[in-house]
Chains A and B, each alone.
Chain A
């Protein structure tokens, strides 16, 4: 069974630009979550999608947005990039949203560098 895939793996952008990251969940998984990892901050929850609906979101500005398609693939978008947006962006998928035996599996991440 293929794992969670994220594209692109690496990205360099300049301040003010916008970026779109893509995540393909494990086949059959309908929940996709996004996290931002920066040094010293651990993984910060961005949002979670299930059946094309955002069910929860973290404390990030409105520049961060996402969506999920009918095939459960998800994208996240960051507009008006700032230097502080440089981070590893991780996507995770699970069957229904996690908990109990419903494990959340992570992709390898997209390393975004903002210059």
Chain B
């Protein structure tokens, strides 16, 4: 039972354009959502998070949007840079469980 889904295994975007990565979830008890970036041979690096009481959180070029009614979140990267090329994982947490549920990842390739 995959509670967090990233249905696009890969995405290619031109440098300078917007990258939109999507994530769907099924568990309405999740109250905290995160995005991680992972380069080969490294552990995931935290990017940005959002609480379920918000619908948007911004940090520089990265913005996460949460649509609770649709159980959907997205990560927008503007403008995209070649260094953003990596695998992006979304993750969800129910407070008090200490158990993060991760999606299967989307490989982003930013073309110069």
Contacts and interface: CB of A to CB of B under 8 A. Distances in A.
Contacts, number: 60
B25 interface: no
A45 B46 contact: no
A98 B100 contact: yes
Interface in B61-110: 89, 91, 93, 95, 97-105
Given A50-B98, A106-B36, 4 more contacts: A43-B102, A45-B100, A98-B100, A106-B45
Contact of A43 (B44, B97, B98): B44
The size bracket of the interface on B is 20 to 34
Interface string A86-114: 00001010000111100111111100000
B43 A109 contact: yes
A45 B51 CA distance: 21
A105 B104 contact: no
Nearest to A96: B98
Interface of B: 6, 32, 34, 36, 41-46, 49, 51, 89, 91, 93, 95, 97-105
A99 to B, nearest CB: 5
A68 interface: no
B45 A98 contact: no
Contacts of B99: 45, 48, 56, 58
Interface stretch (A12-20, A33-41, A71-79): A33-41
